[in-house]
């Protein structure tokens, strides 16, 4: 928390955290989905919920976009850290595993959603998602962020004054 506070919780004038989170969430889902498939975890989850396997991947995709948005909302500016972002992301992935497959899904289905190798695959997929999310987030951020140069010129005092009022804070 001290680290996050030190970075400052406000995203800043040029950052687009929700867009960054959504894009990063989609990209991080790719390796995660592959691990879900090849470990057999996706079949276990599909069986546990009684749905087709493609629904599992579709739902996972949607949930991972939302998870990316949530990551951006929680970590804000500190998510941009290229050195520490992987750690935030891995921890976030672990938290996702604890809150969803381990608790919420089992609460819904009243039984474990995966055992053995599939369970390990489910765990690995969440952590891998978080790790990749944390790693790529700063790079996606650098691609989508705005520029400080977008400032009204001084001969447009009304617009410039209006913008200044927004930044005065207090």
Partner 1 sequence: MVIRSGDDQYGMAEFMFATGIECSYPTIDSGRWRIDQLAETKHYRYWRRDLELVRELGLKYLRYGLPLHLVYQAENQFDWSFSDEVMPAMQKLGITPIMDLCHFGVPDWLENFQNSALPEAMADYAKAFAERYPWVKFYTPVNEMYVTARMSALDGVWNEQLKTDKGFVTATHNVARSSVLMMQAILQIRPDAIFINSESSEFYQPCCPDKEIQRIADFENQRRFIALDLLYAVPVRDDIYAYLIDNGISNEEYEWFMSRAVSQSAILGIDYYEWNEKLINSEGKMEMLGELSGWYVIAEQYYKRYRRPVMHTETNTTDAEQAPNWLWRQWHNVQLIRQNGVPVIGFTWYSLQDQVDWNIGLSKALGNVFPVGLFDLNRDPRPVAQAYKYLIEMFKDEPLLAGAEVLEWN
Return the range that interacts with partner 1 (CB under 8 A); candidates 19-27, 86-94, 111-119, 145-153. 145-153
List the x/- string, 13-52, binding to partner 1 by CB under 8 A.
xxx-------------------------------------
Strands (E), the chain: none
Q: 156 by DSSP, 3-state: which?
A: coil
Question: DSSP secondary structure string, 40-67?
Answer: THHHHHHHHHT--HHHHHHHHHHHHHHH
Among 3, 51, 58, 99, binds partner 1 (CB under 8 A): 3
CB within 8 Å of 132: residues ≥ 6 apart: 27, 28, 31, 32, 89
Return the range that interacts with partner 1 (CB under 8 A); candidates 21-29, 50-58, 60-68, 153-161. 153-161
CB of 124 to partner 1, least distance (A): 29
Q: Give the separation between CA 45 and CA 29, rounded to whole angstroms.
A: 16
Do 123 and 32 form a contact (C-beta atoms < 8 A)?
Answer: no
Determine, following the binding rule CB under 8 A, whether residue 89 of this chain makes contact with partner 1.
no
Determine, following the binding rule CB under 8 A, whether residue 169 of this chain makes contact with partner 1.
yes
Closer Cβ to partner 1, 10 or 103, answer by number: 10
Residue with tokens 């599992």: 56
Return the biggest CA–CA distance within the chain: 69
Among 29, 82, 92, 133, binds partner 1 (CB under 8 A): 82
Residues at the interface with partner 1 (CB under 8 A): 2-3, 6-10, 12-15, 77, 80-82, 138, 141, 145, 147-149, 151-154, 157, 160-161, 163-164, 167-170
């Amino acid at each position: 928390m001290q680290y996050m506070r030190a970075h400052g919780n406000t995203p800043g004038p040029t950052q687009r955290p929700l867009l960054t989170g959504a894009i990063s969430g989609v990209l991080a889902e790719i390796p995660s989905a592959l691990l879900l498939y090849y470990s057999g975890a996706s079949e276990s989850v599909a069986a546990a919920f009684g749905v087709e396997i493609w629904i599992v991947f579709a739902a996972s995709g949607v949930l991972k976009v939302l998870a990316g948005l949530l990551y951006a909302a929680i970590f804000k500016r500190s998510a941009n850290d290229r050195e520490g972002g992987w750690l935030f992301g891995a921890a976030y992935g672990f938290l996702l595993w604890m809150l969803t497959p381990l608790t919420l899904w089992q609460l819904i289905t009243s039984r474990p959603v995966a055992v053995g190798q599939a369970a390990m695959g489910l765990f690995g997929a969440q952590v891998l998602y978080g790790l990749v999310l944390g790693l790529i987030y700063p790079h996606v951020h650098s691609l989508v962020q705005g520029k400080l140069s977008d400032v009204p010129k001084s001969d447009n005092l009304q617009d410039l004054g209006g913008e200044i009022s927004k930044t005065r804070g207090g």
